């Protein structure tokens, strides 16, 4: 696969969506094909699972199994084919969100999540299930919009009716943020941390600059 796979992460209220759209536009302007997608979701089946995950009460393991089920369908139907066509895949959240939300926020077993990650993202099919991380389909880059949970909570309080996650207390998001930090510490070369506690135009400046440094965008 020759395409480029970039995921975007952050706690609810980090303000990543407008920047993902702007980046998609900037990459398209430079002549590349962009597949803009999201998790949970991105296929008809995964979008149905998303509605359940975001709204139905369930325990952490059920949540984890459903997000990975949605991810499996999304990888097979959308992400892998787009990468095979050499496209740039921009995905609003991916597996780091599962480690952050279900692992960090809900306190679900990190090792079990690693096993599920190994099954769902194995590149070489069932024979390699549960083997080394090297065989996994992972984003090439992950942009983490890092913002203090109290700031994000204030932003969310002005927003639409909150879903199951958005209505969690600040200390839940402290744990989610720790989950992201733990993932970044394990794979620092994949992560780009953006200070999202700034005015949107400054956040965008940092995103654009990071994308130029990594060769995703040409310098303007
Ligand atoms: P969004 O509103 O940014 O699209 O995110 C959907 C929500 O789903 C968000 O609160 C984070 C949560 N989520 C998980 O709990 N686990 C996951 O694996 C993913 C991808 C999202």
Q: What is the pLDDT of residues 166-179, one digit of tens each?
A: 999 999 999 999 99
Q: Report the pLDDT value the prediction gives residue 128, as an integer from 0 to 100.
A: 44
Q: What residue owns the CA closest to ligand 1's atom 15?
A: 101
What size, in residues, is the chain?
220
Say if CB 37 and CB 122 are below 8 A apart. no
CA of 132 to the centre of ligand 1 (A): 26
What pLDDT sits at residue 123? 77
Residues 115 and 107: their CA atoms lie apart, in Å, by 16
CA of 38 to the centre of ligand 1 (A): 9
Position 131 in a domain: yes
Mutation to probe ligand 1, out of 163, 165, 175, 183 (largest number of atoms < 8 A from CB) = 165
What was the pLDDT predicted at 127?
A: 45
pLDDT in the model for residue 134 = 53
Out of 101, 143, 173, 175, give the residue to mutate to test ligand 1, the one with the largest number of ligand atoms within 8 Å of its CB.
Answer: 101
Residue 84 lies in a domain: yes
Instruction: Check if the beta carbon of residue 4 is closer than 8 Å to that of residue 86.
Output: no
Q: Residue 199 has what pLDDT?
A: 97
Look-up of token digits 């299930």 = 129
The answer to whether the bond into 92 is cis (omega within 30° of 0) is no
Alpha carbons 14 and 93: distance in angstroms, whole number: 12
pLDDT at residue number 135: 77
CATH number at residue 178: 3.40.50.300
> Which residue's entry shows tokens 């090792």?
111
* Residues spanned by the domain of 184: 4-213
The pLDDT value given to residue 41: 98
Q: How far apart are CA 206 and CA 201, in angstroms?
A: 9
Report the distance separating Cα 24 and Cα 35, nearest Å: 8
* 31 CA distance to ligand 1 middle (Å): 30
**How many domains does the chain divide into?**
1
**What are the strands, taking DSSP E only, across the chain?**
4-9, 34-38, 88-92, 141-146, 191-195
Please choose, from the candidates 42, 92, 89, 91, the residue with its C-alpha nearest in 3D space to the C-alpha of residue 69.
Answer: 42
pTM: 0.95
Confidence at residue 1, expressed as pLDDT on a 0 to 100 scale: 61
> Which element (helix H / strand E) includes 193?
strand 191-195
Q: Which atom of ligand 1 is nearest to the CA of 105?
A: 15
Q: Which residues line ligand 1 (CB under 6 A)?
A: 12, 38-40, 54, 67, 92-93, 97-98, 101-102, 165
64 in a domain, yes or no?
yes
Residue 218 lies in a domain: no
Which regions in the chain score pLDDT beneath 50?
Answer: 126-133
In a domain, 94, yes or no: yes
- Rounded to whole angstroms, the Cα distance separating 220 from 218 reads 6
């Amino acid at each position: 696969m020759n395409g480029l796979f970039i995921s975007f992460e952050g706690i609810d209220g980090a303000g990543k969506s407008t920047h993902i759209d702007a980046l998609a536009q900037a990459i398209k302007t430079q002549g590349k094909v962009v597949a803009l997608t999201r998790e949970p979701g991105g296929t008809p089946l995964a979008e149905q699972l998303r509605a359940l995950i975001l709204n139905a009460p369930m325990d952490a393991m059920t949540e984890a199994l459903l997000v990975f089920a949605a991810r499996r369908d999304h990888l097979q139907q959308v992400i892998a084919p787009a990468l095979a066509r050499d496209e740039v895949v921009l995905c609003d959240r991916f597996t780091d969100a599962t480690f952050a939300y279900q692992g960090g926020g809900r306190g679900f077993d990190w090792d079990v999540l690693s096993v599920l990650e190994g099954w769902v993202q194995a590149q070489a099919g069932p024979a390699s299930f549960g083997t080394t991380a090297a065989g996994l389909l992972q984003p090439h880059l992950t942009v983490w919009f890092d913002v203090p949970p109290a700031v994000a909570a204030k932003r969310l309080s002005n927003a639409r009716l909150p879903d199951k996650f958005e209505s969690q207390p600040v200390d839940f998001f402290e744990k989610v943020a720790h989950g992201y930090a733990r993932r970044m510490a394990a794979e620092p070369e994949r992560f780009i941390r953006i200070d999202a506690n700034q005015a949107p135009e400054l956040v965008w400046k940092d995103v654009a600059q990071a994308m130029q440094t990594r060769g995703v965008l040409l310098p303007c």
